A and B are shown apart, each in its own frame.
Chain A
Amino acid sequence: GAVVSQHPSRVICKSGTSVKIECRSLDFQATTMFWYRQFPKQSLMLMATSNEGSKATYEQGVEKDKFLINHASLTLSTLTVTSAHPEDSSFYICSARGGRVGTEAFFGQGTRLTVV
């Protein structure tokens, strides 16, 4: 397998502030990274797909100005939740694919975001 590290694992922030979540591929070069969101008792929902060096492609209904995605290098993508509100509280998970791992996507451990 391959290792995808996501940080932080959990974060609590105040309403109106911004939060940055990092996703790193530790032992392979991730040409593509995916960001998912999972609400309690719901499916993981794809938010956006990012290719290294390109702008992210957002799924319908996901606000690109609110969820800023940067994939500036082959091993790092970041998701910034701007002006967070309580309804943004969720479990955010990244996955990465590319390089030696080919088309299989490996998941990070997830980030539990709580906005108070």
Chain B
Amino acid sequence: QKEVEQDPGPLSVPEGAIVSLNCTYSNSAFQYFMWYRQYSRKGPELLMYTYSSGNKEDGRFTAQVDKSSKYISLFIRDSQPSDSATYLCAMSIGGGGADGLTFGKGTHLIIQP
């Protein structure tokens, strides 16, 4: 069993839809959870960063962490074609970024105009 499981997709939705992306993990020691967006042939860009369980909202993005279920989600409201990218979940035991990150495979998201 891999440490972090993420459906690679592709996930295709119409513009304006609410997108739900998620990851499951097996290591209960993970405390810091992140979502990155990666465009083709580019490095990952940090979107959301959360510590422990709970919700965090930033504009059209909402991140949820449920440590009891070892399940994290990213919601994108009012999705735009420019949101089309690969979305990677990542997590770490120590202060987010202080340790190396464990990544999911990434979900390829396509927003259809």
Residues of chain A at the chain B interface (Cβ within 8 Å) = 4, 6, 9, 32, 34, 36, 41-46, 49, 59, 93, 95, 97, 103-110, 112
Contacts and interface: CB of A to CB of B under 8 A. Distances in A.
Q: Which of B4, B42, B97, B98 has the most CB of A within 10 A?
A: B97
Nearest to B100: A46
A105 B45 CA distance: 10
| SS class, residues of chain B in contact with chain A | loop
Contact of A41 (B41, B96, B105): B105
A93 B41 contact: no
A55 B112 CA distance: 47
Contact of B96 (A6, A43, A46, A104): A104
Q: How many residues of B sit at the interface, in one of the four size bands?
A: 20 to 34
A107 B100 contact: no
A42 B43 contact: no
Given A104-B46, A109-B42, A42 B97 contact: no
Nearest to B106: A43
Interface in B47-70: 49
Contact of A110 (B42, B96, B99, B101): B42
